[in-house]
Amino acid sequence: MNVSDNYRDNWESYWRKTSDEPGEAIWDAGVELTAVPHTELLLPHADAALPVVDLGCGNGTQTRYLATRFARAVGVDLSHAAIEHARHGGEGDGVEFQQLDLTDTDAVHGLHERLGDSNVYMRAVIHQSEPQARPAVAAAVAALLGTRGRAFVVELTSGSREVLRRAAQGPGGPGPKLRRVFEHGLKPADAPDEEIPRVLGAAGLEILAEGDTALAQTEYLADGSLLELPAHWFVLARKRV
């Protein structure tokens, strides 16, 4: 199955109306708040000599950092416009970007054939995917890992909904970056907490480590504090048969 036209169009519209300015996208936090600590959680379980694939890479901020910690990094995103932003930020030196629909099984397996077994980094993708697409997204993680790769997956939890509600109902309403998320029909924290481990397990993935965290955004609240959304992380491998 593939994602719906409406879902695809929402993401294309969002990224077409986003500039190359760092931090304009609400989730484009600095690597010191995201990929740096996440990589430290993944590397004890992973072979850094393997490539890493950044699923839902957006404008590629995290991908470019990952290339400094792994043999090479490939950023993929559903949105053509997002990949254009990522390429504007620079390819080369072990970094590349390509458009890819994670629900396109043939395309995912084609990427695995090209790269071989790979590590995976996926930040906040399943929770905002369409419900019918979530099993395919998890299956894409498993397919890219093969037998040797390891994955770091972090997803928003239900507690994020209350944080977002308070942010949207603050003085003056939601900030400009959060407002753009709503205007383009994007749905953060849309998956129930129990669904994430369930779809990961159904895809043949086992949890090697996990824990609670918060995902820093680039929006500030009315009191001047940074918007941070409750999340849960997993380090994953393919289950041994």
Task: Report which of 66, 59, 65, 77 is spatially closest to residue 119, judged by C-alpha positions.
Answer: 66
Q: State the CB neighbour count (10 A cutoff) for residue 110.
A: 12
DSSP the chain: ----HHHHHHHHHHHHT--SSTT-STT---GGGTHHHHHHHHGGGS-TTS-EEEET-TTSHHHHHHTTTSS-EEEEES-HHHHHHHHHT--BTTEEEEE--TT-HHHHHHHHHHH-S-EEEEES-GGGS-GGGHHHHHHHHHHHHTTT--EEEEEE-THHHHHHHHHHTSTTSS-HHHHHHHHTT--TT-S-TTHHHHHHHHTTEEEEEEEEEEEEEEEE-TTSPEEEEEEEEEEEEEPP-
What tokens were used for 192? 């129930």
| Model confidence, pTM | 0.95
Q: How confident is the model at residue 216, as a pLDDT?
A: 95
Low-confidence stretches of the chain (pLDDT < 70) are 1
Which residues, including other chains, have CB under 8 Å from residue 92's CB and lie 6 or more apart? none
CATH of the domain at 194: 3.40.50.150
pLDDT of residue 19: 92
* Residue burial 2-20, b: 16+ Cβ < 10 Å; e: rest: ebeeebeebbbbbbeebee
pLDDT tens across 174-217, in order? 888 989 988 888 877 788 899 999 999 999 999 999 999 999 99
pLDDT score at 1:
55
When divided into structural domains, the chain yields a total of 1
The domain of 81 spans 5-238
